[in-house]
Amino acid sequence: MSPTLTYRDSVAVLDLGADENRFSPEFLAAVDAHLDTVLADGATGLITTASGKFYSNGLDLDWLSANGDRTPWYVEQVQGLLARVLTLPVPSVAALPGHAFGAGAMLALAHDQRVMRADRGYFCFPEVDIRVPFTPALAALVRAKLSAEAVTAAVLTGRRFGGLEAHEYGLVDATAAAGTEVETATALLAPLGAKDQGTLGSIKSVFYADAYTALIA
């Protein structure tokens, strides 16, 4: 299942899919195209979610192993998407119905806010255990979004956080009962109303300048 875009009134809901939603080149291109549509339609907010037990399992390791010569290009595409979501000129919430691992957790972090199902799924940065060092750009994104305590608890350990623990450490902003993740995300967006895209985009670009610059370098 490819990413699909629907609307709840003026709020765009981007469903990443029902599988592991790994970042294949096709997946990245589809998400980017949907973001074009969200902005062109004048949506007042964006919610990303998924239909299965994964929000996203991150990098497409099978594609990478078969296309090692294209690794720099691939990393550029992944970091470009994270940079775009980080500075998206509409309010954004990641609604996690299940697991968010590695780059999938990074994508969730790039949103303004995160909601996670309370009773299922893990939020995890496994890099320390799978021997994948952070790029400076990804480290900059994490520092822009998480406290030093959360970095120590999550990034330096590879620990898997359930929804309640993820909320306790500030990895997510709210938890939700099964099947209500999108509704909870919608409730977070509702008080914000419509924002001017130019102004909001400019504010995000200033506040996240270090991370954004590193991601697109």
Q: Where are the domains of the chain?
A: 4-216
Give the per-residue pLDDT at 104. Answer: 98
Domain 4-216 fold is 2-enoyl-CoA Hydratase; Chain A, domain 1 (3.90.226)
Give the per-residue pLDDT at 24. Answer: 97
Give the per-residue pLDDT at 84. Answer: 98
This prediction's pTM: 0.97
d(CA 27, CA 58): 11
Write out the two tokens for 95. Answer: 């609604």
Give the per-residue pLDDT at 5. Answer: 98
Give the per-residue pLDDT at 1. Answer: 77
- Residue keyed to tokens 């004048």: 42
Pair 107, 85: CB distance under 8 Å:
yes
In the chain, what is the straight-line distance between the N-terminal and C-terminal CA atoms, in Å? Answer: 32
| HEC letters along 99-144 | EEECHHHHHHHHCCEEEEECCCCCEECCHHHHCCCCCHHHHHHHHH
Per-residue model confidence as pLDDT tens for the chain (217 residues): 799 999 999 999 999 999 999 999 999 999 999 999 999 999 999 999 999 999 999 999 999 999 999 999 999 999 999 999 999 999 999 999 999 999 999 999 999 999 999 999 999 999 999 998 999 999 999 999 999 999 999 999 999 999 999 999 999 999 999 999 999 999 999 999 999 999 999 999 999 999 999 999 9
- Residue (of 154, 195, 190) closest to 172 by Cα position: 154
d(CA 7, CA 15): 11
